[in-house]
Structure 1
């Protein structure tokens, strides 16, 4: 399993309603074919260092790399402008343990 942490920094003008109703379903529909198994979104509030975090879980790091290199990745990243005025920081990693 692999995870990708997507972070939106403090001060980002962020539309959570759009993100939850349009963007995350778009991510699920386009990247599930590449091994996206689940996602979750955390709202830290506008005064936190990062205001929003999404965690995407993939079958493997290879699965994420295929998704990130796919033609659908352009559609996913191109949608960011519809809910945020800043691009996110993406941090991929392999899951080593969970409970």
Structure 2
């Protein structure tokens, strides 16, 4: 199973609409990525640790053998990325764990 972790670091003055993220963005992610190997997602809102605060983080699970990096680069994923501006002005950080 592969995992894509996307985090949104919280900084003073940044905008993050958690309601939109959960009600609109995450269903959009499922619409585009579930047919391409996504098996589930665990969005987490708010958090902190030694590296600082997070507005949100999501762990997106993929079926074994899914080429997550290719999925992210595929033009078919454009609607997912275009929607980010609708809920935040934070630049997300993405990390791929191909064999989690």
User: Normalization by structure 2: what TM-score?
Assistant: 0.83
What's the counterpart of residue 85 of structure 1?
89
Tell me if the contact between 1:7 and 1:89 (Cα under 8 Å) persists in the aligned partners: yes
> 1:22 is matched with which residue?
24
Q: Distance between the aligned counterparts of 2:18 and 2:56, measured in 1?
A: 9
Query: Is contact 2:37-2:66 (8 Å) kept?
Result: no
Distance 2:63 2:78 in 1: 21
Equivalent residues of 1:61, 1:93 under 8 A apart? no
- The match for 2:98 is 94
Cα RMSD after superposing both structures: 2.0
Q: How many pairs were matched up?
A: 96
Q: CA deviation at 1:61?
A: 5.6
Bigger mean CA deviation after superposition, 85-94 or 22-31: 85-94
Which protein has the bigger strand share? 2
Gaps of 5+ in 1: none
Following TM superposition, the consecutive aligned residue runs of length 4 or more in structure 1 with deviations greater than 4 angstroms are none
The 3-state SS of whatever aligns with 1:62 is coil
| CA distance in 2 between partners of 1:72 and 1:84 (Å) | 21
Match of 2:43 in 1: 41
* TM norm structure 1: 0.84
